[in-house]
Amino acid sequence: MDGPVLLTGAAGRVAEAILDHLGDSYRWRLLDRDPPEKDYSHEYVLADVTDAEAVRDAVAGASAVVHLAGDPRPDASWDSVLANNIDGTETVLDAAAEEGVGKIVLASSNHAVGGYETDDRVPTIYRSHDAYRLDGTELPRPGNFYGVSKATGELLARYYYDTYGLPAVCLRIGNLTKERPPRDYERGQAMWLSYRDCAHLFDRSLQADYGYEIVYGISDNDRKYYSIDRAREVLGYDPQDNSAEYDAED
């Protein structure tokens, strides 16, 4: 890539996973409204994604955008997700389209489809290989306002691809933890994403060619009920971790 990769939400946990593993792989331009806790020795922009002028300045010259910024709380209020997640995402997409950025990697979430986890399917879907599998072709079914905002982000990315030709991949990220999958939490184990696999997924998202895609971001867990077949096919995603490997340690 000729220009830097703009990474919004650079002070967050997903950004930590990316930068810990890929810090030397790209020329990063980091953006967050909070100052960094780590020194990654990259350009850092203190700005909010709701500030259109600051976002345009940050996008200028970028070859790609990894958009992570937003309110990540599952219980976030409507006012917060509207401003930070929906309006903020539209601001970033608009600036990326205007600048002619090569692609955008959008952090979506499992919460965009959390409504599929009804009482009659829980916890069966966390245990079975084949009983129920979401693959990204299903309609969004959010279970909270945060999920609504992530589903809206996917639709905005679809609009900007269809209207302006801005390639976009939306990653429905599962349960990201640094050291190991959560104990005694089947849902978290089924959708676990290791830091290593997370970084690899974003690396492949920056390298692969695509138009518009929705894929799931989880490790290769035995108990997964999200399919990663599309991520393998389109992005070349090859996860190395599996939550079942930690069972013997418990």
Catalytic residue annotation: 146
- Cα-based distances in Å from 228 to 29, 111, 197, 237: 29, 17, 12, 8
Q: Is 238 helix (H, G, I), strand (E, B) or coil?
A: coil
Tokens 């518009």 correspond to: 212
Smallest CA-to-CA distance from 17 within 174, 144, 152, 164 is with 174
Say what the alpha-carbon torsion angle 197, 158, 140, 48 is, to the nearest 10 degrees: 70
The burial class, CB within 10 Å (0-12 / 13-18 / 19+), for 168 is buried
Q: Phi, psi at residue 125, to the nearest 5°? A: -65, -20
